[in-house]
Structure 1
Amino acid sequence: MIKKIFKYIPLLILVLTASCADSNKNKATFFGGKIINPKTKYVVLFAMDKVIDTILLDNKNKFLGKFNSLNEGLYYFEHGNENQYIYLEPNDSLMLRLNTWDFDESLVYAGKGAERNNILVDIFLEDENDGRSYYKLNKLKPNAYKRKIDSILNVRLETYKTYAENHTNETDNYFKLLKIALTYPIYSRIERYPINHKRINRENNFIQVEKSFYDYRNHIDFNNDSLMYYTPYTKYIRNYLYNITYALGHKPLKNQYSSDFTVDLLKSINDKISSENSRNAFLKSTVLDHFYRKSSCSINKETFDAFFKYSTNEKDKNLINNILNDGEALHRGDEIKDFIFFDFTEQPINVQDFVINKNSLLVFWNEDYFSKEFLSSRIPYLKNKFPDLNIAVIEIDGNSLNRIPNVDIKNQYYINTKNLKNNFLTSGMPRTILVNKNGIVENGYASIASQNIYYQLKQLTKNN
Structure 2
Amino acid sequence: MIKKLLIYTLFLTLTLFVGCTSNEENSTYFGGKIINPKSNFVTLHSMEKIVDTLFLDKNNKFIGKLENFNEGLYYFIHGNENQYIYLEPLDSLMLRLNTWDFDESLVFAGKGSKRNNVLIDCFLEEEKDYKTNYKFNKLEPKEFKRKTDSLIQLKIDSYNNYIENNPEETFGFKSLLKVALTYPIYSRIERYPIVYTKYSKTKEFPKTDTDFYNYRKEITINKDSLMYYSAYSQYVKNYLYNITYSLGYKPMTNEYSTNFTNDLLKTIDATVCTPESKNAFLKQTVIGHFYRRSTCNIDEKVFNTFFDLSANKKDLKQVRLLLNDSKYLKKDTKIPNFTLIDFTNGNHSISKIIKNKKSCLFFWNPEYFSKNYISSRVKYLSEKFPEIQFLQLKFGYDSLDRIDNLDIKNQFFIDTKSEANNFLTSKMPRTILVSKKGIIKNSFASISSKNIIFQLKELSEK
- Which residue is 2:445 aligned to? 446
Shift of 1:419: 4.3
- Which residue is 2:333 aligned to? 334
Query: 3-state SS of the aligned residue for 1:345?
Result: coil
Distance of aligned partners of 1:270 and 1:416 in 2 relative to their CA distance in 1, 3 Å threshold: same
One-letter code of the match for 1:224? K
Detail structure 1 runs of 4+ shifted over 6 Å in the superposition.
none
- Which residue is 1:57 aligned to? 56
Distance between the aligned counterparts of 1:20 and 1:10, measured in 2?
15
- Which residue is 2:25 aligned to? 26
Q: Which moved more, 1:293-302 or 1:136-145?
A: 136-145
Give unmatched runs, 5+ long, in structure 1: none
- Which residue is 1:164 aligned to? 163
- Which residue is 1:288 aligned to? 287
Query: 3-state SS of the aligned residue for 2:213?
Result: helix
Query: 3-state SS of the aligned residue for 2:356?
Result: coil
Shift of 1:277: 0.7
Question: Is 1:73 the equivalent of 2:72?
Answer: yes
- Which residue is 1:347 aligned to? 346
Say whether the 8 Å CA contact 1:81–1:373 is kept in structure 2: no
- Which residue is 2:208 aligned to? 209
- Which residue is 1:229 aligned to? 228
Question: Is 1:238 the equivalent of 2:200?
Answer: no
- Per-residue Cα deviation, 1:281-328 (whole angstroms, up to 9, x for no partner): 000001111100110011112211211121111111111110111112
TM-score by length of 1: 0.96
Query: Identity over aligned residues, as a percent?
Result: 52
- Which residue is 1:259 aligned to? 258
Question: Is 1:437 the equivalent of 2:461?
Answer: no
Distance of aligned partners of 1:424 and 1:417 in 2 relative to their CA distance in 1, 3 Å threshold: farther
Distance between the aligned counterparts of 2:18 and 2:357, measured in 1?
63
Distance between the aligned counterparts of 1:37 and 1:182, measured in 2?
31
Q: Which moved more, 1:145-154 or 1:427-436?
A: 145-154
Distance between the aligned counterparts of 2:262 and 2:5, measured in 1?
58
One-letter code of the match for 1:151? S
Distance between the aligned counterparts of 2:139 and 2:4, measured in 1?
45
Distance between the aligned counterparts of 1:121 and 1:422, measured in 2?
42
Say whether the 8 Å CA contact 2:3–2:107 is kept in structure 1: no
Distance between the aligned counterparts of 1:263 and 1:449, measured in 2?
22
Distance between the aligned counterparts of 1:403 and 1:120, measured in 2?
35
The alignment's C-alpha RMSD in Å is 1.6
- Per-residue Cα deviation, 1:104-139 (whole angstroms, up to 9, x for no partner): 111111110011111111111111011133212222
- Which residue is 1:130 aligned to? 129
Distance of aligned partners of 1:459 and 1:161 in 2 relative to their CA distance in 1, 3 Å threshold: same
- Which residue is 1:199 aligned to? 198
Shift of 1:56: 1.8
Shift of 1:418: 4.5
Distance between the aligned counterparts of 1:184 and 1:379, measured in 2?
34
Distance between the aligned counterparts of 2:23 and 2:323, measured in 1?
58
Distance between the aligned counterparts of 1:399 and 1:105, measured in 2?
32
Distance between the aligned counterparts of 1:11 and 1:70, measured in 2?
23
- Which residue is 1:99 aligned to? 98
Task: Count residues with an aligned counterpart.
Answer: 462
Shift of 1:204: 2.2
Say whether the 8 Å CA contact 1:297–1:445 is kept in structure 2: yes
- Per-residue Cα deviation, 1:346-381 (whole angstroms, up to 9, x for no partner): 111112222221111111011111111111211222
TM-score by length of 2: 0.96
- Which residue is 1:110 aligned to? 109
Say whether the 8 Å CA contact 1:75–1:87 is kept in structure 2: yes
One-letter code of the match for 1:48? M
- Per-residue Cα deviation, 1:360-414 (whole angstroms, up to 9, x for no partner): 1111011111111111211222222222222221111233221111111101000
One-letter code of the match for 1:114? S
One-letter code of the match for 2:136? L
Distance between the aligned counterparts of 1:9 and 1:222, measured in 2?
40
Distance between the aligned counterparts of 2:426 and 2:15, measured in 1?
48
